[in-house]
Amino acid sequence: MEYTDSPPTEKQTPSGMMPCPLCGNMLPKDADSCDRCDWTRHGQVEGAEGKASDAFAVLLSVIPGLGHIYKGHRLVGILLIMGIPFAVGAAALAATATAGFGLGLMALYWIVVMIHAYAIDDRVSPEKHQQGEQY
């Protein structure tokens, strides 16, 4: 093996073929998926308009459930909002039995909801372009 300062030579791919971005298997240029790995081609490149911000969802989760609603998970968000009185009640009950240490359960509830709002996939999708009337 010889070490040089010259740039490595690029592999020549046959025309009409492309390597799979994950495994390197040669595929036709118009392939939608790879038969060797999990790679699939997505229809369009998603811009900033079609994606909910994870950090903003965490900030909204100061009120548990709002971050989930922001990311498009309305049912989960409503259930988390409705669960706030139960979480506060459980933390207050635990606080009376543990000399106040049970209030940490409320902080734990908020942290878990914030982490879940950050990690959950968003369902917000960009508006579809009008193609005119369809008959």
The per-residue pLDDT for range 102-115, each reduced to its tens digit, is 889 899 999 999 99
pLDDT of 2 strictly over 80: no
* Domain locations in the chain as residue ranges: 14-42, 53-119
70 burial type by CB count under 10 A (0-12 exposed, 13-18 middle, 19+ buried): buried
pLDDT of 14 strictly over 80: no
Of residues 82 and 11, more confidently modeled: 82
Angstrom CA distances, 34 to 18, 25, 134, stand at 11, 8, 34
Distance CA 95, CA 106 (A): 10
Distance CA 64, CA 122 (A): 16
pLDDT of 75 strictly over 90: yes
pLDDT of 134 strictly over 70: no
Strands annotated E in the chain: 17-19, 26-28
Of residues 48 and 116, more confidently modeled: 116
12-20 average pLDDT score: 74
The per-residue pLDDT for range 18-73, each reduced to its tens digit, is 888 778 888 888 888 888 887 777 654 445 555 778 899 999 999 999 999 999 89
